[in-house]
């Protein structure tokens, strides 16, 4: 899976790119089953991953399964073979190699955003590097895989074109507990309304956010985030993690 020069230029100019389909329906179904098993708590590995419930649903007495209340799963690739294998999918890595301009790539992390039906909450406008301040340069790339068709009605991601060229902007943590980027025009947003199996790739300085899920169905997106293997760790040494190499070679003294 290789990109055209026009596609690479689009990413460089806008900070995001929609590519697909990158996965088969069979591959999607395997991922959907694993994500649902982790979210529902049916799989023992669900005790090892990070689970965040939809705000206001943590102690809800409403009669619905845990699966219908989960908003986010983090760190699954460190424990689950299926998610780890997906993070190394050759079609995804081919695209990343073209966008990074190098075959030397490491996995930074993963998360799944579930967006429960009818009440899946929005995600604040932010830059990923507004959170990820321990990696330099601030030029990571995330692959947002649509496990379900993504639309504006069910809260698809929206991007501000060209915002990645401004570097890391000021963020403020507000009452919802999330970082909110300052000083941008949300009217310029482009929705990532993509079908299941497609991926939205975005630069870690691209401003993005998403609206609520107003549809009667869950909207699941599996995000795997990557960095060049020669990136530098600038956080406290004692907090540095081990980041798996997914393609290419290691660099001594780097991430």
Per the domain annotation, does 121 fall within a domain?
A: yes
Radius of gyration of the chain, Cα coordinates, nearest whole angstrom:
17
Q: Tell me the DSSP string of 219-251.
A: --EEEEEEEETT-EE-S-GGGPPP--EEES---
- The answer to whether residue 92 is domain-embedded is yes
Question: Considering the domain boundaries, does residue 111 fall inside one?
Answer: yes
* Torsion 67-72-74-76 (CA) sign: positive
Across-strand partners of 120? 213
Cα distance between residue 168 and residue 205, in whole Å: 6
CATH of the domain at 35: 2.60.120.620
pLDDT in tens, 173-224: 988 878 899 999 999 999 999 999 999 999 999 999 999 999 999 899 999 9
Number of structural domains the chain divides into = 1
CA 241 to CA 233: how far, in whole Å?
A: 10
Domain with 79, as residue range(s), is: 5-247
Note the pTM of the prediction, 2 decimals.
0.95
| Dist. CA 115–CA 54, nearest whole Å | 8
Tokens 């219908």 sit at which residue?
Answer: 68
What is the C-alpha to C-alpha distance for residues 231 and 251, in angstroms, rounded to an integer?
Answer: 9
Whether cis (ω within 30° of 0) applies to the bond prior to 21 is yes
State the pLDDT at residue 60: 47
- Of 6-15, 21-30, 199-208, 211-220, least confident by mean pLDDT is 211-220
Taking alpha carbons only, the member of 241, 242, 239, 204 closest to residue 223 is 204
Q: Is residue 252 part of a domain?
A: no
User: Across the chain, what does the average pLDDT equal?
Assistant: 94
Q: Is residue 255 part of a domain?
A: no
Mean pLDDT computed over 117-136:
93
Six token digits for residue 45: 């590995």
% of the chain at pLDDT higher than 90: 84
Candidates 92, 112, 137; CA nearest to 247 is 92
- 64 has which bridge partners? none
CA atoms within a 13 Å half-sphere pointing along the CA-CB vector of 219: 29
Residue for token digits 């919802």? 176
Residue 210 in domain:
yes
Q: What is the pLDDT of residue 64?
A: 54
Q: What whole-number distance in Å separates Cα of residue 227 and Cα of residue 96?
A: 9
Indicate the SS3 state at residue 208.
Answer: strand
Whether residue 159 contacts residue 189, with contact meaning beta carbons closer than 8 Å, is answered with: yes
Give dist(CA 20, CA 36) in Å, integer.
23
Q: CA-CA distances (angstroms) from residue 185 to 80, 105, 182?
A: 39, 33, 9
Q: Would you say residue 18 lies in a domain?
A: yes
Q: What is residue 63's predicted lDDT score, i.e. its pLDDT?
A: 43
For residue 74, give the 3-state DSSP assignment.
strand
Whether 155 is covered by a domain: the verdict is: yes
pLDDT at 149 over 90: yes
């Amino acid at each position: 899976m290789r990109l055209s020069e026009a596609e690479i230029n689009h990413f460089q100019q806008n900070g995001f790119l929609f590519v697909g389909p990158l996965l088969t329906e069979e591959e999607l179904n395997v991922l959907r089953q694993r994500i649902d098993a982790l979210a529902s708590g049916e799989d023992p590995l669900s005790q090892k991953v990070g689970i965040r419930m939809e705000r206001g649903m943590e102690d809800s007495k409403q009669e619905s399964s845990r699966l219908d209340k989960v908003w986010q799963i983090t760190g699954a690739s460190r424990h689950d073979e299926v998610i780890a294998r997906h993070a190394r999918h050759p079609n995804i890595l081919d695209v990343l190699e073209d966008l990074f301009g190098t075959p030397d790539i490491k996995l930074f992390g993963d998360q799944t955003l579930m967006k429960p039906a009818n009440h899946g909450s929005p995600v604040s406008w932010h830059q990923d590097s507004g959170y990820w301040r321990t990696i330099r340069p601030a030029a990571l790339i995330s692959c947002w895989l649509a496990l379900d068709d993504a639309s504006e009605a069910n809260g698809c991601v929206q991007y501000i074109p060209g915002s990645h060229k401004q570097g890391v902007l000021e963020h403020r943590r507000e009452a919802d507990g999330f970082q909110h980027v300052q000083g941008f025009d949300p009217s310029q947003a482009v929705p990532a309304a993509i079908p299941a199996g497609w991926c939205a790739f975005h630069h870690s300085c691209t401003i993005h956010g998403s609206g609520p899920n107003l549809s009667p169905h869950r909207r699941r997106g599996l995000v795997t985030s990557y960095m060049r293997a020669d990136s530098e760790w600038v956080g406290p040494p004692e907090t540095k993690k081990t980041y798996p190499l997914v393609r290419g070679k290691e660099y001594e003294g780097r991430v």
